Amino acid sequence: MKLIYNGGNRKLSRVVNRANEILLSSFYFLEIEKYLRENYDEERCLSFLMELKSLDEKVAIKGFWNPIGRTYLKIKDDSIEINTAHLSKSHRTLLEQLIGEYLMILDQRKQLSQIIPLKNGKDLPASFGSIARNFM
């Protein structure tokens, strides 16, 4: 699992680098596992974690400049676009949103929601992003 950013915005670059460190961290997966065990049965939990750890998907992060537009994040099939004119949010908030959206893109590509429904009331990607926020 990897986010790729090749632009020149330093704040965005730092957040993407930190997100990649977190996505590879065993501590992050332990926290995800704890969350899943609290909310789902053992078989689904293990199956979801195995699938998540086995993914080697790369998602491009692209910056765009639109000081007038209200859109902060745009999600495409193969990338996440961030309006760099509105990067006043904290690193933690940006990190949380990036990881949550990254998981939604992985779901679109690999159908993770067949194991655990990602669009139910619990909103897993947002929860996974919130878990990552604690590592910043």
Per-residue pLDDT 10s for the chain (136 aa) are 789 999 889 999 999 999 999 988 888 888 888 888 888 888 888 888 888 888 888 999 999 888 888 788 888 878 999 988 878 778 888 888 888 888 888 877 777 777 776 655 345 666 777 777 776 6
* Domain span holding position 96: 2-133
pLDDT at 105: 84
Domain count of the chain? 1
Q: Look-up: residue for tokens 């639109």?
A: 66
The two structure tokens encoding residue 33 = 């596992």
Cα separation, 76 vs 78, in Å, equals: 5
pLDDT of residue 124: 63
CATH number at residue 37: 3.40.390
Q: Could you tell me the two tokens for 9?
A: 């915005």
First to last CA, the chain: 18
Give me the sheet containing 58-64, strands edge to edge.
2-5, 58-64, 79-83, 73-75
- Tell me what pLDDT residue 121 has: 39
